[in-house]
Amino acid sequence: MRADAARNLDAVLQTGARLLAEDPGVSVAAIAAAAGVDRRTVYRQFPNRDALLDAVFEAKLDALDDVIAQSRLTEAPVGVALHRLVEGAVEVARRYPVEQEQMRCSMKGSSRYLAQRQEIDTFLRRAADDGLIRADLPDGMASLLLHDIVDLVAHQYPQRDCGRAADLAVDVLLGGIGRG
């Protein structure tokens, strides 16, 4: 793919995610216009609106896969891995603000999303085993809190760079569910 085509595709996917988060019924034409490309450019890449929606969600999943891999959830010290995970997740949430619940996605996309959630849940159990977070929380609570705190700092504090936003998110997470 040519560099300009790759930039256009990235602009369409990120703009699509932002506009879909604001209005799930947004048109392909509106996404194209906001991304600064012609509607025909979008339709050359995606045969229909559903294909574009799938691509937006797949792009977010790809970005989260990279964050999870770079966080080294099974090898790095728990505190380091947590900060890397949160910092990357804040960046992804800002680039692709659309939530999984808003997307009609393929079985493959749903499976990837669930696998990512499982990987993070496994990491949070490791954090509990290491004493960083409480081990007596109901199943899934730490994961839901992590997701909600990341979403909050990503969108309510956009003036903070991703590192400072992660500092705040980890501090709030550990202050709320940490051993104290």
Domain annotation covers residue 151: yes
The vertex-24 CA angle with 103 and 98, nearest 5°, equals 55
Q: Are 38 and 72 members of one domain?
A: no
Q: Are 81 and 4 members of one domain?
A: no
Rg of the chain, C-alpha, whole Å:
18
How many structural domains compose the chain? 2
Report the length, in residues, of the chain: 180
Q: Are 63 and 138 members of one domain?
A: yes
Structure confidence at residue 76 (pLDDT): 97
pLDDT, tens digit, for every residue of 98-144?
A: 876 666 666 677 888 889 999 999 999 999 999 999 999 899 999 99
Structure confidence at residue 2 (pLDDT): 77
Q: Spell out the long-range contacts of 151-160 with Cβ–Cβ below 8 A and sequence spacing 24 or more.
A: 151/93, 153/90, 154/89, 154/90, 154/93, 154/94, 154/97, 155/93, 155/94, 155/97, 158/94
| CA dist., res. 14 & res. 94, Å (int) | 9
Structure confidence at residue 152 (pLDDT): 93
Q: Are 69 and 156 members of one domain?
A: yes
Q: Are 100 and 32 members of one domain?
A: no
Q: Are 132 and 88 members of one domain?
A: yes
Q: Are 33 and 119 members of one domain?
A: no
Q: Are 66 and 1 members of one domain?
A: no
Structure confidence at residue 1 (pLDDT): 61
Segments of the chain with pLDDT less than 50: none
**Amino acid identity, position 86:** V
CATH (domain of 68): 1.10.357.10
Domain that holds residue 85: 57-177
> What letter does residue 178 receive in the DSSP assignment?
B
Domain annotation covers residue 52: no
Q: Are 90 and 1 members of one domain?
A: no
Structure confidence at residue 177 (pLDDT): 60
> What letter does residue 158 receive in the DSSP assignment?
T
CATH (domain of 20): 1.10.10
Domain annotation covers residue 10: yes
Structure confidence at residue 112 (pLDDT): 87
Structure confidence at residue 85 (pLDDT): 98
Structure confidence at residue 179 (pLDDT): 56
Determine phi and psi for 133, rounding to 5 degrees.
-125, 165
Q: Are 78 and 156 members of one domain?
A: yes
Instruction: Give me 112's structure tokens.
Output: 């990837």
